[in-house]
């Protein structure tokens, strides 16, 4: 059906060009990663690395074509800030 998403070149879209599924996928993967981070005692540098290696690249891959509006970008940035804030709440690493 034209409204069912397909994955083409790593981007989820419908035959009609709707990229809503791609944006939903990025939000879901971001939230899943944040949930995983909250279960661990990573220190700030580790959280920073995870956000820059595992969360932001998912967004960047399709950012130019996914038609994000400014409100969606702000919400996504707020999710990234949640991940960073979790790292700040962890005790300092003792080495």
pLDDT tens for 66-85 read 889 999 999 999 988 888 88
DSSP 66: S
CA distance 5 to 14: 4
Tokens of 71: 């409100």
The CA distances from residue 92 to 40, 42, 44, 82, 87, in Å, are 14, 9, 8, 18, 10
pTM of the model: 0.79
Q: What is the pLDDT of residue 87?
A: 64
pLDDT tens for 28-70 read 999 998 888 887 777 888 888 888 898 899 999 998 888 899 9
Tokens of 7: 């994955």
């Amino acid at each position: 059906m034209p409204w069912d998403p397909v994955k083409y070149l790593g981007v989820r879209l419908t035959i009609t060009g709707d990229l809503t599924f791609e944006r939903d996928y990025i939000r879901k993967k971001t939230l899943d990663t944040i949930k995983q981070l909250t279960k661990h005692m990573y220190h700030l540098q580790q959280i920073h690395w995870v956000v820059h290696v595992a969360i932001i690249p998912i967004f960047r891959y399709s950012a130019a074509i996914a038609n994000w509006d400014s409100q969606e970008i702000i919400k996504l940035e707020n999710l990234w800030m949640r991940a960073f804030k979790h790292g700040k709440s962890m005790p300092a690493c003792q080495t």
